[in-house]
Amino acid sequence: MTDLPEIHGVCPPRFAAVKDAFAANFTDAPEGLHELAAGFSVCIEGETVVDLRAGWADTARTRPFEADTLVPVFSTGKAVMAMLIALAVERGLLDYERPVASYWPAFGAAGKETVTVGQLMSHQAGLPGFDEAVEPSLWFDPTSVLERLCAQAPMWAPGTASGYHPITIGYLAGELFRMVDGRTMGAALREEFAGLDLWIGLPEVEHDRVAQMRKPTSAPDLGSIDAVKRSAFLDKGSAPGGRGSTEWRMMEIPSANLHGTARDLARLMTVLVAGSFEGREMLSEATLAAARRERIHGQDRVLPFVMGWAAGWTMNAGLEVFGPNPDALGHYGWGGSCAWADPEARLSAAYVMTRQSPHLIGDPRAVRLQKALYSAL
């Protein structure tokens, strides 16, 4: 048991069980993962109905976790990345069923000429990492990263299986978006969702608002290790490094370094529920259907799960990590953060935290909050 910090925010009586679960994650957390700081937010029919936060933004407990404290959410940012690709599809700039190479000829080298946009976004392109070890600093040179990935042959036949692309998908999707839209994903996020405190590439002037993270005490369980998993997670240079946190935060890595709040992640995910954002239509029914539909289901080549992928989001069916409804979809990030949309329940939600766990998906603290939320509906 640990002490319960003061809980701030909004939680009407209807959702008292959610606040109780949120408090329990600080005092009686599963697996001893007691929160240092956390936020949880829920939107129903596009309106924020729950927005809770508590804890300290630093490990020394000198800075309260405020409404504008930013949290690095790592791969949860892929949910935002996928939303920007969906916007490009809505505007006719991309088509999920067309080959990536029809927009970006260099990508089609080495057997990738038929990989579609939808296959790329559902982790079927066979490029989860580099086929030889590289220096971690390479990731700070996006041009070199893209040249290597374009020249590289797929690690399995594209379209036959998914294999989670932890970092590479952000460079590939980000460059494809830039080619057809003209803006980087970071710039488009700020312009399309003005007012949301979400950042792909965080200006140095905002760094003082970032919460300190406590890394997991153990590595995630990847199952049996092979060359594909090593390239994705374990090889030297499988993730950015060697330049320090300031430069990492400032880089635009749509797959890995989004900074934001639970409140605004949940607000953005409302688009996947009804296609609109604060009264402005963003995605038509046709685009929503194409973005949300399951594109592949089976044993993932990188993650140790039988799972399904939509066009950039993890499907809930078979996993039950986004509540009870199979058509819910979203994304988890390193350490436990998550954001999801549930069209059936007409809700979207997000969870952020600063004590990281080794769970790849389905962090037990997030699942506890989800169970409490759905029990209150």
What are the catalytic residues?
75
Query: Residues 6 or more apart from 99 whose CB is under 8 A from it?
Result: 108, 113, 114, 115, 116, 117
Q: Give the residue from 288, 289, 295 showing the smallest Cα distance to 271.
A: 288
User: What is residue 111's DSSP assignment?
Assistant: G
Strands (DSSP E) contained in the chain are 7-10, 37-44, 47-55, 71-74, 199-200, 258-260, 276-277, 280-281, 296-299, 306-309, 314-315, 329-332, 338-342, 347-353
Q: In what order do the strands lie in the sheet with 71-74?
A: 71-74, 258-260, 199-200
Cα–Cα dist 215/355, whole Å: 7
Instruction: List, in order, residues 6 or more apart from 37 with CB less than 8 Å away.
Output: 53, 54, 55, 56, 57, 65, 69, 211, 353, 354
Q: Count Cβ atoms below 10 Å from residue 352 Cβ, excluding itself.
A: 31
What is the rounded distance in angstroms from the CA atom of residue 218 to the CA atom of residue 258? 23
Residue 86 and residue 291 in contact, taking contact as beta carbons nearer than 8 Å: yes
For the record, the structure tokens of 80 come out as 């935002």
Say which DSSP state 154 is in: P
User: Which pair of structure tokens corresponds to residue 83?
Assistant: 């939303």
